[in-house]
Structure 1
Amino acid sequence: MHSQAEDQPQPDTATAADEVLPQVVVQGASLTGATEGSNSYTKGAMGTATGLNLSVRDTPQSVSIVTRQRIEDQAMITVADALGGTIGISVKPVDRGRNQLSARGFDITNFQFDGIPMATGNIGIETGNTAMYDRIEVVRGATGLLGGAGDPSAAVNLVRKHADSKVFTGSVSAQLGSWKQRTGTVDLSTPLNQDGSVRGRFVASIGKQDAFIDLEHTDNKVFYGVVDADLGKSTRLSVGLSDQRDERNGVLWAGLPYWYTDGSRTDWDTAKTTATRWNQWDTHEQTAFINLQHTLANRWTLRADISHHRQNEDSKLLWVWGDPDRATGLGLQGLPYHYISDPKQTQVSASASGPFQLFGRNHELNVGLTHSRLTEGWSNRDLVGDMAPLPDFNHWDGSYPEPAMGPRYQGSRGTTEQSGLYGAARLQFTDALKAIVGGRVSNWQRDEEAAAWTASAYQIDHKRVFTPYAGLVYDLAPQTSAYASYTDQFKPQTNRDRNGAYLDPLEGKSYEAGLKGEFLDGKLNASAAVFRTEQSNFAVADVGFFVPGTTNPAFRTAQGVTVKGYEMEVNGDLARNWNVSLGWTHFSAKDADGVDVAVDHARKQLKLFTKYTLQGDLSGLSFGGGVNWEGDRPASATNPATGATEKVGQGAYALVDVMARYAFDNKLSLQLNVSNLTDKKYRSGSYWWGAPYTYGQPRKVLLTMDYRF
């Protein structure tokens, strides 16, 4: 979706009159500016925010990069693990399959693969294995310039590994961990012809494990392959496939009851589950992609991408809800679901990026076209007859009988098409002042078919929706800058007004200002920012009016949510052998009436992880540790016995993680990770639909043996 010439521009040494333009090249051996092998917790440049190859310091939004080194140091096995360690991001499990991801009070719905937007299904992209990724880039705030429709929360860009090596190289690792975790991973790179101009890379990870929750067992398999070919000195072609299967048995769906019938609160063992022995939740996710980059003689880079993403979700689950009697454990209700979904998305994009000269100064421009088509829907089977009463939940062992189910029916089905024309420019007004300006024009259309949950087919169509982008960066000193930005994002909605027309899209406007620093020759990035996000066109009931020809209540638009807050972050290397990632965020999120929203997410977060590698006689020994602290969550609910509104959000808590690694030589290493060192018991999940919740993971021990060659 954007050109990623990640190499840093060379410093200007000429005068304004005969200034030499910075060199822009196709990376050749480093298509994506890989962090792999850098031993660093930061990266020099990224294009996730604007498509321009900007340093972290010159990007006028809050950005975070989880490098390959940090992924390995903290044993971040899934994308959700990595996001959970990213400042400003909140990851709250809904159950043992789904997660609620949030930033700045809004759900995160914008994901990218190598800068190409992709939709996520009911079980999201965040459950994916990190074995195939070089790094994860996050831009907080509205990101509509490249992403189009979505929420003004954050964009998450998953940057794949590539075949950069012209010699045979690779690694083999084995992991043993708590709850019978066993995982083996192979990562191989090799030249495919004599001069190494065509190279291949293959990653496979196969694992199985139980869980800290009773009954649950998961088998997972991940395969990823890519071929990178240099088609001459100026052209590079990348073709790849990925395939991930997760088979979950005895898996918890929804959560645990929060209240007893007498109004007191439950306090289950962390292993407690509502799952049955016949529960299953299987997913199969496949992605294919082609990327072509070519550098012209004028140092402009042309890029074209086509990708296809498919996810299949097949589940057989029991939903349990209600308030049990404290003494007897009776009183819960259940409903089975046999849910299948199969979202498919195809994305095509083309872009051109490069330098130009105007008024004696160097500038950069990126322009592009994108088109995506997403087809999604779900089917289900309903219960036949009556459910057998649920037994005493105090002694639940999952042996509840599987009920009879009726024929499969289509619950919903629809197609979303989105196309966009975008452009962004980095304008160098003076030696110290630069502007990043741009915009996007989008066409968005949803065609919903008639189905069991859709009474009649309908179409929502928004044309020529303009999304602006504006930022200023001013260099205060050689290593520090001040910046300010305005970004925008729209999100279509399905509610209709009293005239039968669909409401205008939600519009999220993000304002941000801050300071950024780049120290130690770019090895350490620091930032501090204040932000404000306003979401307008929020749907509220138009009391007394109905959609013409229906009994459906009509809606009107109103001012929606306002989010205000600040963030501070430091990422990188304090010294040659000392890595650090440190961040703090604090925000408020309220609706037009001043009522808290996004109440399942803490308003304050502190995230720290640091690692030091010893030298001298203790060379090869590394120690690391950190803490993730978050404040209270402002959720409240009605007590079923008293009718009073009570605070139910998880209170403040801290999780401590530690690691140690010993490298026997430059090939073989042994690493120990202990997460939640103090074995803190806490509720990690969202409070939703009758107040179920899930517990967070207790203390976990993971041992990794890694051999590289």
Structure 2
Amino acid sequence: MNPLPLLAGLVGCLSVNAWAETEVESTTVNLAPITIDGDSNAEPGLSLDQSSGMASRLGLSVRDTPASVAIANRHDIERHGAQNFQDAANTLPGVNASAPPGFGGFVSYRGFTSSQITQMFNGINVSGGLARPVDAWIYDRVELVGGPSSLINGAGSVGGSLNYVTKLASRDDQALEGRVSYGTYDTTETAFGLNRALSAPGDDMQHYARLDVSHNTGNGYIDRQERDAWSVAFSVLSDLAPDLSHTLALEYQDEHEDSPYWGTPVLNPKAGELKIDKHNRFNNYNVEDGRYEQRTIWVRSIIDYRINDSTTLRNTLYHLDSQRDYRNLETYQYNADNSAVNRSTAYQVRHQGEQNGNQFELRHDNRLFGLETTWSGGFEYKVNQTTNSPLNVRGASTVNPNSFQPGHFYDIPGTRPGYVSDNTNQVSTQAWFAENRLALTDKLSLLSGLRYDRIDLDVTNHREVTASNPRHLERRWEPLTGRLGLTYQFLPSANVYVQYSTAAEQPGGTQDFDVSTGKQWEVGSKFDYLEGRGSATIAAYTIERKDFAVTDPLDPAASIPVGQQTSKGVELASSLRLTERLLLEGNVAWVDAQYDDFTERNAAGVVVSRKGNTPTNVPERVGNLWLTYDFDPQWQGGFDARYVASVYADNANTLTVPSYTLFGSFLSYKIDHHTTVTGRVRNLTNEVYAEFAHVSPAYYLGTPRTVELAVQMRF
């Protein structure tokens, strides 16, 4: 059933009620708000005293958490012009995120990539490629924790964790907001949000609802690439009693992309810095009827109960259902003299996923040996089931890059409509966790935590049963992870911290290996300066990941779990109000990442060592800078810059993709208290750059210069 007509009706009902009734006063309750929403009128900055979000279940602030924590709240998202949650993530120190097809949401951070960076939604760790960038409108904030964080997020997270937090109904006064924008390549956005009280003041039970809807369309900067996407978030917060509340949250995402862009082939010879033919930078070598589609439905039931002044509990029951369909011709390479492009890899696949789970958390404040302490503990149970139905044929064809007919997918020999299931992977996870903060003195505190996971993998083969591919296969892993940290508040506005944390990651595929492990040492400081006009964070770390699968030097067809890689680096972020009108913000990250023990089979079938090499798509430096100037109460303008260092496109480190710097600017005018018009230019210099390097090899080009005009209203 198409949910959009139902949602439209719901929008209408809420909107009519919003304007038909008078504004109600907020009702005081004892419960804390469900989330900390970004305040569009808040003072910009690092906001070190805001909640650290998923970095700890103890309700600590960013300042008090002995870990590298960065947050892009709602105000930051809007001020920096983030179009989706990946744009918001890229504003955080050291993050380099992109969305090449076939990789879901790709993130490089602290020298690690892919599954070593956990991407969560509302504190829920989901498997599969669900991290494709979704329009930022429905999101309240993006949270980042640096380094191993399996204590909070479960298996994975050796490089760090990102958490995308959706807007939820709040007890704020009635609010109505909307945004309409139009930009280059016919890019449009139509969005609105509504938060209101559903009950009258004095009722025994108070109810609040929020609805956010966003619709995006665009023709794309690559030929024939068209996109249409809906994002919807609806929630109802019910104060059932002074100490008991329930939130029902529903999300729906629907994305369609015609002729998805799968990269731009690089010119021969392929050696050193890779180059492309810039005259053909907008060519789309995919078939005419290439397709990417995704439909995702989330349902969450959240109970918050304050047992007494020192004890609270939260229980989150959730269901996720998703389906992703790909139908594309995906690989493109120039022939020897660069006169033609050879196309191959016709791939059609359906990923059907379902995840059900429950998270229970209990938090308690008391005293231990006369010292103030906070405890948090709980358990999690989830079952993630994914069925893949792939069809992969060679699909070879050659076209003239200056003039060609893209053709159609089902004209390729060996292709056919329909899906035949390959296998179903079911991963069941049971976890128990505990965390504690102990105030050793009024300046020194100790944070500790442990987590035990029991992970069961059950694979069902839907194809022909053979000795190497049985009907059923089972695996089990039981990792134990944790964190230990000290924070010393040597000034009221400044501290230093040190922490040790660990992570565990289950092996890929069905390999009968133990979990790979990760550990990190980190030292840092968080402080305000210049009488509070500035705030800053600095962190230095070293991470080791070991016991992951590499090619067996004695048997190129086999793998052995002896791999090891390390990274070390420094991250710095700061926000400074230079004058009453001029705000300077920025962050920079430097990382040195390498393989210590890594072997793979090269194109000639020979097993070679990559010891000392840097992993692919890992930039050594990433930096962001923003300058914002308030000309007067109505006019505001700004300038921004982003730098990403060059990366290697292969594990042999013989192929590189050049560094790039992107510049942008904006100018906004506040027509009245409710309405603001903003003009924004991205990639001012029209830089040609690769967001990601395919192993084909090929560039995945970033967006060229674009102009956008947006009108945003709040009532």
Same fold (TM over 0.5): yes
Shift in CA distance, 527/148, structure 1 to aligned 2, threshold 3 Å: same
Deviations 1:275-328 (A, max 9, x none): 221111111111111111111223211111011222211121112333325464
2:680 pairs with 1:676: no
Query: Size of the alignment, in residue pairs?
Result: 657
Deviation at 1:523, TM superposition (A): 7.9
SS of alignment partner, residue 222 of structure 2? coil
Deviations 1:500-541 (A, max 9, x none): x92221001111011111458988541111100001213244
Letter in 1 for 2:229: N
> For the Cα contact (< 8 Å) 1:45–1:53, is it kept in 2?
yes
| 1:706 match | 712
| 1:548 match | none
| 1:479 match | 493
2:223 pairs with 1:214: yes
| 1:396 match | 404
| 1:460 match | 475
| 1:632 match | 646
Shift in CA distance, 390/151, structure 1 to aligned 2, threshold 3 Å: same
Shift in CA distance, 577/159, structure 1 to aligned 2, threshold 3 Å: farther
> For the Cα contact (< 8 Å) 1:596–1:634, is it kept in 2?
no
| Partner residue of 1:286 out of 277, 297, 307 | 297
Q: Counterparts of 1:213 and 1:333 in 2: how far apart (Å)?
A: 17
Deviations 1:36-95 (A, max 9, x none): 334334442223122111121211111111011111122212111111222111114434
> For the Cα contact (< 8 Å) 1:74–1:659, is it kept in 2?
no
| 1:102 match | 108
| 1:529 match | 539
Per mean C-alpha deviation after superposition, the further-off stretch among 443-452 and 27-36 is: 27-36
Q: Counterparts of 1:96 and 1:621 in 2: how far apart (Å)?
A: 42
SS of alignment partner, residue 694 of structure 2? coil
| 2:589 match | 585
Shift in CA distance, 494/115, structure 1 to aligned 2, threshold 3 Å: closer
Alignment of 1:565-644 (within 5 A): 565-571=569-575, 579-593=583-597, 594-614=611-631, 618-636=632-650
Shift in CA distance, 51/649, structure 1 to aligned 2, threshold 3 Å: same
| 1:223 match | 232
2:333 pairs with 1:316: no
> For the Cα contact (< 8 Å) 1:26–1:301, is it kept in 2?
no
| Partner residue of 2:160 out of 154, 158, 163 | 154
Alignment of 1:13-28 (within 5 A): 28=31
| 1:186 match | 192
Instruction: Structure 1: give runs of 5+ residues left out of the alignment.
Output: 1-24, 546-551, 638-644
Shift in CA distance, 387/681, structure 1 to aligned 2, threshold 3 Å: closer
Letter in 2 for 1:341: H
| Partner residue of 2:388 out of 362, 365, 378 | 378
Deviation at 1:382, TM superposition (A): 4.9
| 1:661 match | 668
| 1:237 match | 246
SS of alignment partner, residue 397 of structure 2? coil
Q: Counterparts of 1:510 and 1:218 in 2: how far apart (Å)?
A: 41
Shift in CA distance, 342/632, structure 1 to aligned 2, threshold 3 Å: same
> For the Cα contact (< 8 Å) 1:317–1:336, is it kept in 2?
yes
SS of alignment partner, residue 598 of structure 1? coil
Shift in CA distance, 410/230, structure 1 to aligned 2, threshold 3 Å: same
SS of alignment partner, residue 54 of structure 1? coil
> For the Cα contact (< 8 Å) 1:314–1:340, is it kept in 2?
yes
Shift in CA distance, 204/66, structure 1 to aligned 2, threshold 3 Å: same
| 2:256 match | 247
| 2:91 match | 85
> For the Cα contact (< 8 Å) 2:678–2:709, is it kept in 1?
yes
Q: Counterparts of 1:659 and 1:367 in 2: how far apart (Å)?
A: 46
| Partner residue of 1:448 out of 453, 456, 459 | 459
| 1:363 match | 373
Letter in 2 for 1:308: H
Instruction: Structure 2: give runs of 5+ residues left out of the alignment.
Output: 1-27, 598-610
TM-score, normalised with respect to structure 1: 0.87
| Partner residue of 2:137 out of 113, 131, 135 | 131
> For the Cα contact (< 8 Å) 2:45–2:535, is it kept in 1?
no
Shift in CA distance, 554/334, structure 1 to aligned 2, threshold 3 Å: closer
> For the Cα contact (< 8 Å) 1:257–1:324, is it kept in 2?
no
Deviation at 1:495, TM superposition (A): 7.7
Alignment of 1:400-415 (within 5 A): 402-403=410-411, 405-406=415-416, 408-415=419-426
Deviation at 1:356, TM superposition (A): 0.8
Letter in 2 for 1:390: T
Q: Counterparts of 2:502 and 2:409 in 1: how far apart (Å)?
A: 51
Q: Counterparts of 2:210 and 2:31 in 1: how far apart (Å)?
A: 15
SS of alignment partner, residue 422 of structure 1? strand
Q: Counterparts of 2:90 and 2:30 in 1: how far apart (Å)?
A: 31
> For the Cα contact (< 8 Å) 2:613–2:653, is it kept in 1?
no
2:222 pairs with 1:205: no
SS of alignment partner, residue 322 of structure 1? strand
Q: Counterparts of 1:257 and 1:174 in 2: how far apart (Å)?
A: 36
Shift in CA distance, 512/360, structure 1 to aligned 2, threshold 3 Å: same
| Partner residue of 1:508 out of 515, 518, 534 | 518
2:54 pairs with 1:34: no
| 1:493 match | 507
Letter in 2 for 1:655: L
| 2:562 match | 558
| 2:353 match | 343
SS of alignment partner, residue 179 of structure 1? helix
> For the Cα contact (< 8 Å) 1:293–1:304, is it kept in 2?
yes
Q: Counterparts of 2:509 and 2:702 in 1: how far apart (Å)?
A: 36
> For the Cα contact (< 8 Å) 1:387–1:403, is it kept in 2?
no
| 2:340 match | 329
Q: Counterparts of 1:461 and 1:355 in 2: how far apart (Å)?
A: 36
Per mean C-alpha deviation after superposition, the further-off stretch among 690-699 and 136-145 is: 690-699
Shift in CA distance, 252/262, structure 1 to aligned 2, threshold 3 Å: closer
| 2:21 match | none
